[in-house]
Amino acid sequence: MNKGQGFGFGLGKMKELTEAFKKAQQVQEGAKQLQEELDRLEIVGQAGGGLVKVTISGNQAPIRVEISPTALAEGAEVLSDLLTIAMKEAYEHSTATMKQKMEALTAGLSLPGLG
């Protein structure tokens, strides 16, 4: 072992490692806040011009389903299709929102695997 380098890390490498840990801690704290924000967020997907609405959280937990009397009168098969379309729309909005917020959280941080 060379004098002053301990464990194969030079002083510059230790500084980089310390910075990487700080960045990781910032991301972890931001991720916790983001998780809480997503839990409170309500995202709506709809179908049939609003005849059916599905509301989920930003973390994709179901919140509520609204079905108009007109949609009910269409029968089970049509109602099933409308619900599926509304759920897919809510899910797509939720994942896009989550991705956008994660990108904002990690912007400017050059952490491996988060680029």
Q: What is the pLDDT of residues 18-63, one digit of tens each?
A: 877 887 787 788 888 888 988 999 999 999 999 999 999 998 999 9
Total of domains in the chain: 1
**Residues 53-96: tens digit of each pLDDT:** 999 999 899 999 999 999 999 999 999 999 999 999 999 999 99
Closest CA to 55 of 71, 47, 44, 70: 44
- Whether residue 87 lies inside any domain: the answer is yes
Strand partners, 67: 52
- Whether residue 112 lies inside any domain: the answer is no
pTM as predicted? 0.70
CATH number reported for the structural domain that contains residue 81 in this entry? 3.30.1310.10
Place of tokens 């509301």: 55
- Domain encompassing residue 83: 11-106
